[in-house]
Chain A
C-alpha cells in the first residue's frame, strides 16, 4: 500500500507542475490576440459613443500600460490569494460571481448527461461484447454510430423543432419556466427536469456510441485472454465472469476517457447552451473571447484546468482500486 501512496503523491506533484504551466499559458495566450478590450467595447457601439470617451473606458477597466512581466506577477499573486478580478464583459461583476452563476448549471446538465451516457454506453458495450454476433450486436453499433455522426447542432435543432415547437412536448429553451421561482420546491425541480430533458437527451444520444464501441472492442479482446477461459473452466456463473472478470479489466480505457471527459465538462457545451438558451460555461467562454475579457478568460481556463487535473487524479485513484497490477 505504501507504494500506491507514493504513486499518488508523485502524480500529484506532476499535476501541480502542469497546473502552474497552464496558469502561465492562460495569462500569455489571450494577450497575444490583436486588439484590446476597451477598443472592442467602444467599437460595439458602432458610432454611437464619442471617440473621446475611449480613454474613460480604459480607465474604468483598469487597463494599465505596465509591462507584461509585472502584470504577470501581480496576476500570480492575486490568483494565489483567490482573487480572480473584475470581468470586463460583465463589468463591474466579479469574475467569481459570473462563473459561479454558470458553473452549477453546466455541472448539472453536462455532468448528468456525461454520467448517464457513460453508464448506459458502457453497460450496452458490455452486453453486446459478451453476446457478440447477436442481433443486438449487429444492430446497435451502426445505429448509434450513425446518430453520433450527425452534426450536433443539426440534431439538436431538429429535436427542438420537432419536440419543442411542432408537438410542444418540451419548452423551447431556458433552464426553468417563467412561472416558477428558483429554490428548493417541487415545482421548480420538476420544471428544471422538464427543461433539461431535451438538451440532455441530445447530448447523450451523440456521445453514447463512443462509450459503447470502445467498451465492446476492449471486452472482446479481453474475452480471448487465458484467465477468462480459466474462469469458465472453474465453472463460475456467466454473469460473474462477464461483470467481475472481463468487464472489470475492459473498463480501464473507458475509465481514463471518462476522467478526461469529466474534466472537460466545465468547459461547457456551447452548442447545447446556444440552441436551448441554457445558462452555462460554454457561452461565457465564447463571450469572454469575443470581448477579450482577459480576467474572465483566465478565470474560466483556470477552473477548466483544475477540473481536468483533479478528474485525472481521481481516475488515478480509481484505477488503483480496479487494477491490482498498479498496486504491486
Chain B
C-alpha cells in the first residue's frame, strides 16, 4: 500500500471533498502550464496542481490520488523520478516515465531513433573525453558536443578542429558529474538557417513552426524566431514516427532540412514548450486546448 503527498492546488471546478482524477505536475507554472490549466478549467475538467518540490510516494497506505498526471515538470530528473514513482502506484503519466527516460537523454533518443530506422544525424557516444577526441576524427569536423541531459541549447558546443575540441574536452573532463564525462558527439549537418518544430499530440501532427536564428543554435530559448508552418505529409509522418519511437504521446519533434531538402530528426522533447509555436499560429491553433482534450479523453477511460 502506498501514499502520495504533495502540496496540492485544486482547480476552481474541484469540490473540496473530491480528489480529481487528473493532476498537472509542475514546479513552475509558465505560459504553457497556465494555458493548459486554463483550458482544463474552460472545459470544466477538475484537476489538481501537484508540485514536485513537495511530492513523495511511499509504501504503507492506500493510494487515493489522481489516476492521470500530466507531467510538466521543468527539471528532467524530477520529471523522470516523479513519473516513475507515480506509475509505481498505478498512475498513468503523460508522458510515461519510459518516454521521459528516452526523450530526456540525447543518447537514448538517438538509439531509439536508430532502432526504428529513422533518419538522424551521425552520432557517436564516447564513454570518456579522451575517447571523444577519437570519435570526433570518425565523425569529422565541424561537429557538435552536447550534454546528455539538458535543453535550451545550454553547453552545446560546436567544434571545428581537434585543437578546439581538445580544449573543450579538457573542460568537460574537469566537470564534477561522472555523467558529464560521457560525451555525445554529433555531426553538424549543413542546413538552412532554420529548423522545424512539429508538435505531436496523440499520434497526430498538430502544427509546426520554422525556427530561424542568426546563430547556429535555433532554440527559441536562445532568441530564435518562430514562424508558422503547416506540416507537410512528410513532416507529419516523420515527426509522428519519431514521437512513437520514444513512446511520447505529447512531443515537440525537431527536424532539420539538409541542403538538398532531406529531413532528419534532431530531437524529441517530452515536456514540450510551445510558447513560440502558439505565438506563431495565434488563434489558428489551440495547443493547450488539444492537450486538455487529450487529458479529458484519458480521464474517461
Do A and B make up one complex? Answer: no
